[in-house]
Amino acid sequence: MRLDGKVAVVTGGGSGFGEGIARRFAEEGARVVIGDLRRDAAEKVAADIAEAGGTAQAVAADVATREGNRALAAAARESFGRLDCFVANAGYTYSNKPLLEVSEEEFDRTYAVNVKGIYLAALEVVPAMREAGGGSILITGSTAGIRPRPGLTWYNGSQAAANLLAKSKAVELAPDGIRVNALAPVIGETGLLETFMGKPDTPENRAAFLAGIPLGRMSRPLDVANAALWLASDEAEFITGVVLEVDGGRCI
């Protein structure tokens, strides 16, 4: 059990990559707080984990607010007594379209969740980890912040910020024993697929995206979950400031 005894918070844990991470962490012994805007989705994942013999708690939270992040950190400490790992996985995007057609509301929400959410999480999580003598923070960024696709310019920028924030936080928090790393998945088989594509999910449209991925498929929640599991485990105790590309070779 690679996370036995550890307590983890996973935001956006009600579906997609976050759900995959929450389930995988629980399988490896972690007690998991599942945060999501949709309480019913978080509760469904938590119930499935419990049914499989794991331990999980659902919390409805908006990571774009201080209150949401405070609720997540508090749930970990009050229910399980500690906080070892915080996975800032929740993300937002708009439908693929020309950069001048993105509304100010869409822009603001993208940066509120993808960038400001990382700042707000740090305000709540870092003090708790300092008290505990260390911890691990994971940020789900994206290959969009490394090798951007057209039609997602402002989203690409938010993911570049997420990737770099992981590196900068890693340097600053290293003396506290807090490791910070990022995951950079390529476009994945999740509920946001058509939003990223900006077109229907048809075999023909998928083929255009797959052509740029050397291993020939999109990412899956288990791909991201396995990468997150390693970074959160003690096996990666000397790894910090890494942006791990989970991309089938997309960024080569």
Task: For residue 239, give the nearest of 222, 227, 250 by alpha carbon.
Answer: 227
Q: Which residue is it, tokens 């911890």?
A: 135
Which amino acid, one-letter code, is at 112? A
Contact status, residue 61 vs residue 36, Cβ threshold 8 Å:
yes
Q: Kindly report the backbone phi and psi dihedral angles of residue 29, in degrees, each rounded to the nearest multiple of 5, phi listed first.
A: 100, -5
What count of Cα atoms within 13 Å lies in the side-chain half-sphere of residue 51?
A: 6
**Cα 131–chain centre separation:** 24
Side chain identity at residue 187, one-letter code: I
Is 119 noted as a catalytic residue in this protein?
no
Token representation of residue 33 = 């707080």
**Residues 6+ positions from 194 with CB-CB distance below 8 Å:** 200, 201
- Among the options 92, 94, 111, 155, which is catalytic? 155
Choose among 122, 132, 85, 23: nearest CA to 236: 85
* Angle (CA) 76 16 120, round 5°: 45
Query: Which one-letter amino acid corresponds to residue 3?
Result: L
- DSSP state, residue 24: H
Query: How many Å apart are CA 42 and CA 27, to the nearest integer?
Result: 17
Q: Which residues are catalytic?
A: 155
